[in-house]
Amino acid sequence: MGESGMNSWGLFVMITMMMVMVRGGMGKSFRGSEGLQNCVHSTHSTSWKTLLANDIAYTPQMGWNSWNHFRCNIDENLIKGTADAMVSSGLAALGYQYVNLDDCWGEPNRDSEGNLVAKCSAFPSGIKALADYVHSKGLKFGIYSDAGTQTCSKTMPGSLDHEEQDAKTFASWEVDYLKYDNCENNGISAKERYTRMSKALLNSGRVIFFSLCEWGQEDPATWGKDVGNSWRTTGDIEDDWNSMTSRADENDKWAAHAGPGGWNDPDMLEVGNGGMTTEEYRCHFSIWALAKAPLLIGCDVQSMDSSTLELLSNEEVIAVNQDELGVQGRKVKKDGDLEVWAGPLSGNRVAVVLWNRGSSQADITVNWSDVGLCPSAVVDARDLWASFNSNIGSRITRCPSGFSCL
């Protein structure tokens, strides 16, 4: 465990994640509940561009990205091994479909015709061959560029003023996903720069998922739905509790802007990288799932331990994230360090997270009215981590012991 994990040990805990279903239906109070109303009302706006005209991202993207664990220490063997591990571990079968190459994959200069070039020492077979290998495993391949003159590592060119050329290059390599960063941007408006690449991708002749990595600086949640399939609402995440919880809070305020075709992105998962405890990672994964955040694994899947695989493989928690209703769950109740997060699901269901962010044992009570249900409702509840069913009327109370999930 890293030093940051030691510093945060035992300070915060999520006690459970539930899915509840009302017998006989939700009742008219569901969408009128103050706690959930704001995350429902604008999700399917009539002004929404039809899935950005690329007809993808009906649910948040799932997959893997190289940056959180490997930074610039990447090569084609790592990516091939990761693709193999995604399949052999069962993660691919659960929906983790993208294998995404992040920064540092290219040579420092373009070729004589102005094209991006793969770093020959790390990717001697070229990007097209690597994409072919990933595709041969039944997976999709993603790549990285930047809406500036250089990428954030400053080791390779960005795509500013080369959008059409680079989009055609990515299409020729059969890339399925583009993460587009925000460094070295010459002070040009993010909306202008990202719109250029959006149009270039749509004109490239290939369907490419467009992930805006703008860090939330110009409130991309308010305009991203017309430009990309997901948009970062926060700065970069780090593998520690304070970073993770702050990203969750920052992302929460934009819940009303997410929905099928376009998703708020509080950054990639840190689960399995060693800076937090297993219970803290369980909180991380639960909140990201509830908030309909992209589930992009950021650890070394070739060497992850069994507890990491177990967390990432919880089919019922993944199903909350991938639910067809596509409404982002949000924080609906707060009493000091005690919080309730909730969001509606298809089939007359609601997902609920009880989160104790303090150091002491404490009761957390959820009244059904807190999560948009009729106060007198009797529900069938299921704890998605404990795989336990129960029948509950009017409210539920749980009292977590220190440093654990129940």
* Residues labelled as active-site residues: 181, 236
State the DSSP code for 358: S
Bridge partners, 263 (sequence order): 230
Evaluate the CA torsion angle 157, 161, 163, 164 in order and state its sign. negative
Report d(CA 156, CA 306) in Å as an integer: 36
Among 267, 263, 212, smallest CA distance to 236 is for: 267
Among 62, 70, 12, 69, smallest CA distance to 274 is for: 69
CB 30 within 8 A of CB 322: no
CB neighbourhood size of 370 (10 A): 19
One DSSP character per residue, 350-374 reads EEEEEEE-SSS---EEEEGGGGTS-
Q: Tokens for 174, please give them.
A: 């059969």
State the DSSP code for 262: B
Among 33, 59, 36, smallest CA distance to 258 is for: 59
In whole angstroms, how far apart are CA 247 and each of 51, 295, 354? 26, 14, 18
CB 355 within 8 A of CB 18: no
Report d(CA 243, CA 263) in Å as an integer: 20
Amino acid letter for position 45:
S
